[in-house]
Amino acid sequence: MHMSDALLSPVVGGAMWLVSAAAIGLSVKKIAGDKDASGLNEKKIPIMGVLGAFVFAGQMINFTIPATGSSGHIGGGILLAALLGPAPALVTLASVLLIQCLFFADGGLLAYGCNVFNMGVIPCLGAYTLIYKPLVKKGLNKSRITLAAILAVVAGLLAGAFCVVLETLASGITELPFSAFVALMLPIHAAIGLVEGIVTAAVLCFVYSARPELLCGAVNNSKLDAAVPVKKVLAIFGVLALVVAGVLSLFASAYPDGLEWSVEKVAGTTGLERGGSVYEAAAGVVDKTAFMPDYSFRASAGQEASGANEAAGTAVAGTAVAGITGSVITVIVAGGLGLIIYAAGRRVRRRPLSPDDKKTGVRTA
């Protein structure tokens, strides 16, 4: 459900940048300022990186929605929040979306704020907090995990899809009238959400069987005990990320995803275009940073003139390389951000309270 820049006006795109930046900033502050580091400690920092890579890889696999001509992919927000907690999950998912945008031209730079809000803020801070957490807090078991995961994923995806419609409406995109667009976006994303919910539930049930402390820690906002071994879980998710990104991504559905499908049904094309300096500037940045646009090698003049078989082979190799490369970058970026935030938080929490802080009992700086 990555939005392109053409679906937004500069004003709406800029406003959503500010909204998402505020949400990320509050999440960072919670991680760094909470006396328990919002459940983030040395044990969970590498989990942020590896799970981020797993979600990056998972988003490369589009699965077909039968009888629609459409496809969908996991968002990963509920999965990350259930294992890391909502604040670290949002930071991780924002990292994934930024890597996809800048290095693989997946989702526009102007639309980055919308994509973070629709795919990150809504599931990680909204659906997880309002639906998943209350259900599993009543008693953590596989049945509750499954029900909570499916309901939270479907609700989060429907809310995100509805926000896409509202954002295009506020942007004045006349090619996508509200009633027709929402009538397509909600049903197709309900179907996508059901599949993602089942996948999320299966992964969480596996983790619950292997290391239930991960799910308990996220729900209770507590640190992962130093005695809890996580190397096996890290290794499994690391291998899965590489296999999904380097192998399974080659078998992704060729059908357009739910957003592209809906746009095409309403507007007659997915290639909406907008002109102006803001769009050109955003596209120019991505064109310079995206070393593998659309998860493939940049085509040279010689490659474009080569035969179909050679071109197909190059595309397959490009997808595998892009998937593995992106997963590795995600481990470094998401894990590195977790380490920086955690280290900064430790310094803040060790700093002596000022006289004013002692009076209120609240640290202000």
Q: What is the pLDDT of residues 212-252, one digit of tens each?
A: 988 988 888 777 777 778 889 999 999 999 999 999 999 99
pTM: 0.91
**Residues 101 and 143 sit within 8 Å (Cβ to Cβ):** no
**Residues 40 and 341 sit within 8 Å (Cβ to Cβ):** yes
Residue 342 token pair = 């955690």
Q: What is the pLDDT of residue 305?
A: 53
Q: What is the pLDDT of residue 295?
A: 93
Parallel, antiparallel or unpaired: strands 70-72 and 63-65: antiparallel
Query: Of 113, 120, 109, 54, which Cα lies nearest the Cα of 289?
Result: 109
Residues 6+ apart with CB under 8 A from 154: 190, 193, 194, 197
Q: What is the pLDDT of residues 36-78, one digit of tens each?
A: 545 566 778 899 999 999 999 999 999 999 999 999 999 999 9
Residues 6+ apart with CB under 8 A from 60: 73, 244, 245, 249, 252, 295, 319, 323, 326
Q: Which CATH number fits domain 5-360: 3.20.20.70, 1.10.1760.20, 3.40.50.11540, 3.40.109.10?
A: 1.10.1760.20
Residues 6+ apart with CB under 8 A from 72: 62, 63, 65, 188, 189, 191, 192, 195, 196, 257, 258
Residue 304 token pair = 């474009």
Residues of the chain with pLDDT under 50: 37, 301, 362, 365
Boundaries of every domain in the chain: 5-360
Pairwise CA distance, residues 50 & 282, whole Å: 29
User: How many residues are recorded in the chain?
Assistant: 365
